[in-house]
Chains A and B, each alone.
Chain A
Amino acid sequence: MNTNTSESSKNIIHSYLTFKLGDEFFAVSVNNVLNILEMTKITKVPQAPAYMKGVINLRGSVLPLVDTRIKFGMTETEYTSNTCILVLEIPMEKDTVKVGALVDSVQEVVELQEDTIQPPPSIGSRYKSSYIDGMAKVMDEFVMILNVASIFSGEDVINIQEVTDQIKQAAQ
């Protein structure tokens, strides 16, 4: 009985939405994603950090928008027909807030068994690894599963390249 439960807990299937930033693949739990929007007109907010792209109209309410590439220490997003906005719901200062994340392209929703997800290896500092929930291999590609709550509620610019490189190294 006991072994059965631990077996089944390993077989729990989670759904993730995968997307691309440059050549890297990332995934977020579908629980955090409210919807996916096409690019729309962005109103720039003056004197905000560079990664805060502006605000958009989300069905009558105002949604702050993060340029995920800048947030991850990459170059600014160039708008293409594939550019999308992920509307994420994250906890922030005791509330749940909505935030939009600009990504280069959205891939697909994948279902991953819990035991196929590798927990993040302890790398460098714990602070960095808190941004990554785990890692999985989907169609021969390494996909970083992001902890959106800790990424999008903070004010830091994260050098994601460094983080992913370290994780990949540690995994190999």
Chain B
Amino acid sequence: MDKLIVKFIEEASEHIQIIEQNMLLLEKDPENTGYIEIIFRSMHTLKGAGSMFGFENISEITHDLENVYDEIRAQKRTLSRELFDITLSAVDHIKELIKFGNKIPEEIANNQVFLVQRIRAMISENVHEKNKLFISGESEPKEEALKNAGTYYISFKPFDNIFDNGTNPLYLIDELVNLGSSIVIPYLNNVPDITTIDPFVCYTYWEIFLATESDISIIHDVFLFVEDLCTLDIHKISDNNLLKEKKFVRKIDKLRHTGHDIGINEVQILANEFKDSVSQKVKKAMNSTYAQVSKDYSISSIRVSSEKLDQLMNLVSELVTTQARLNLYAQQNNSNELTTITETTQKLSRQLRDLTFEIALVPIDTLVTRFQRLVRDLSKELGKDVIFETQGTETELDKTIIENLTDPLMHIIRNCLDHGIESSKTRQELGKPEYGKIIMNAFHSSTNVHIEIIDDGAGLNNEKIRRKAINHGLITEDTVLSERQLHDLIFQPGFSTAEIVTDVSGRGVGMDVVKQKIAGIRGQISVESEKNKGTKITLIIPLTLSIIDGLLVKVENTNYIIPLSAIEKIYAIQHQQLKKSFNNQIVLDGKRIPYFSLRHEFQCSEMNADGIEQVILIEYEKQKVGLVVDLVIGEYQAVLKPIGKHYKDQEIISAATILGDGTVALVMDTSKIITHFNAHFLKSEVKI
């Protein structure tokens, strides 16, 4: 039973997220009924599951809310701001309920009563409005409302004397038509020649196909007063709206031109033909509308615990390591068969690896709802009008990275809201749009994902940062800093420029914590800002944390891995040539390229003068830089292993990996290497 409850909680949390997400979407696009449909469905499931697992209070609340949304769905009620607020606080409340299970604190129990009252009050408030809508809506039933319609066949053959008591059959037909959508076929084949016609006799008879939600008795009621004056035949031919089926309509059209009436037998056969196809189509149609609203709603998927996923990942990592040993062994034992097998397993393990990684990828989307909620609530609290926009949130990242990103991003967005965006009044004075804007933009770039948080607020205040930095002893009065260097100061520990510490930000955790956290997942953070234009914070995050494709190289006796994604091109070069080069630049393909000799930088012994080295060209901040190594061994799938806290200061090495022969190779962080040596190089130049 406990297991089931865990499952319920898992599922309920998912439904809550769906509701929250769609509420926020709906708020932006109130016309889209698809969102309401999804919200309604999730609420309904929540209600059912809630009472099944003894969460009576959940089902109580969702039951009332469900009613409201049912009315909205049926267009008997309109969306209101109040409803959004109530729903969202109800969602929060349900979250609490799930959290506490059976032991609900009094405070929350009170909240329950309060919420239920609010919802009920809202339901009763709208009653008269509801009635009003009913009256106005009566005259023209909408096409869309016929979702649950059945199709009826009505054969109406008035007797000759129907006119005698003043009945106009056309009025009856009008009344029928108003019940839903219909095809009315009049038959005039009994009408005699004009010379013999009797104007007091009704010659015409009708066949009517009616799709309506009304009961068959209502149709009978239409003919209540003429029942004795006609032959009337009413049959329900389908539970679905056949008139939506083009094929059905076409067939009817064909049949009517045969000159005589179709007859119930023929119709029934026809209707049966459509029975199956209709229900399938309806289902399909329903699915597709949901698919439009939320792409991944109806994708068939299974739930796997993340623990299992981690296990799978570890196994694949071990497989890749073992594969490396096998490769080495195959190389040493020159057997054709062994080589073939090794190559095949190599291919398989690579595919398996890629697939496993893909499984663990999660779209950034999963974070967005939380942020939207944050912006919505916070902007209200702060009295600022803010729009939160997202782009490229389908970009996927490893789930552990996503988990580690939540807090930093939360903090950044909070900062934007609190410090960045000005109050509406200030914005007006500055001639900016009344609504502040925060954009979250995510995209791929080589093996990294970039996430940008852009606001159009006040921008960083250079003066304030400077003053603060001086107060904190980070810089002195006469330190000259470029704007960029000045902005980078905000990542220093204990830096918060908000003059008034609000509840929102400035809780002591500053951008330095954000930076640390991002560095923890091998990411980078940078800030760009312009006064009164806004601030852009960019996070660069690696795609995965555990395995990379790398190039195995050798420097003196040590093996290194350079991430393949960073590499542009490889050149062989004579050591002599490097020795003759000027100002750490060599000419490759006719271009001057700055280079760093890793032997030199790593304080290794000098290479033989006639030796051949290899230059690996790396793109670094849109510039090409060469790294000189002794030898390129080949491509290598590196399972990244942390090198431990003892090496936390060695930024240029991001991880280690174990090679097939059991030795350890070090994984270089190329951009850090170049920044590091660049700084070093500049320093030594200044000294001269």
Contact = CB atoms under 8 A, between A and B. Distances in A.
Interface of A: 41, 43-48, 52, 54-57, 60-64, 66, 92-93, 95, 97-99
B664 A56 contact: yes
Q: What does DSSP make chain A's interface, helix, strand, loop or mixed? A: strand
Contacts of A95: 645
B601 A46 contact: yes
B653 A99 contact: no
B652 A46 contact: yes
> Which 8 A-B pairs rank lowest in CB-CB distance, beginning with the nearest?
A46-B602, A64-B646, A43-B664, A64-B644, A62-B656, A62-B641, A55-B664, A57-B658
A95 B642 CA distance: 14
A55 B645 contact: no
B647 interface: yes
A57 B639 CA distance: 13
Contact of A60 (B318, B645, B646): B318
Contacts of A61: 641
Contact of B650 (A43, A48, A56, A97): A48
Interface string B637-679: 0000111111101101100101000111110000000000000
B241 interface: no
Contacts of A99: 644, 646
A57 B646 contact: no
Contacts of A56: 664
B603 interface: yes
Nearest to B555: A46
Contacts of B557: 44
Given A46-B603, A48-B650, A52-B647, 20 more contacts: A41-B663, A43-B558, A43-B559, A43-B665, A44-B558, A45-B647, A46-B666, A47-B650, A52-B646, A55-B664, A57-B658, A61-B641, A62-B656, A64-B644, A64-B646, A97-B644, A97-B645, A97-B646, A98-B644, A99-B646
Contacts of A60: 318, 321, 658
A92 B646 CA distance: 9
Contacts of B656: 43, 55, 62
Contact of A48 (B321, B641, B647, B658): B647
Interface in B82-119: none
Given A62-B658, A62-B664, A45 B650 contact: yes
Contacts of B558: 43-44, 46
Given A60-B321, A62-B656, A43 B641 contact: no
B653 A46 contact: yes
A47 B647 CA distance: 10
A110 B663 CA distance: 34
Most buried by B among A41, A46, A55, A66: A46
27 contacts: A43-B656, A43-B664, A43-B665, A43-B666, A45-B653, A45-B666, A46-B602, A46-B603, A46-B652, A46-B653, A46-B666, A47-B650, A48-B649, A52-B646, A54-B664, A55-B643, A55-B656, A57-B662, A62-B641, A62-B642, A62-B644, A62-B656, A64-B646, A66-B646, A93-B645, A97-B644, A97-B645
Contacts of B646: 52, 64, 66, 97, 99
B644 A63 contact: yes
A64 B655 CA distance: 12
B39 to A, nearest CB: 43
A55 B559 CA distance: 12
B648 to A, nearest CB: 9
Contacts of A57: 658, 662-664
Contacts of A63: 644
A97 B647 CA distance: 12
A61 B662 CA distance: 10
A54 B650 CA distance: 12
B652 A47 contact: yes
A46 B647 CA distance: 10
A61 B317 CA distance: 12
Nearest to B644: A64
A61 to B, nearest CB: 6
B645 A45 contact: no
A57 B665 CA distance: 10
Contacts of B645: 92-93, 95, 97
A66 B445 CA distance: 39
Contacts of A46: 558, 601-603, 650, 652-653, 666
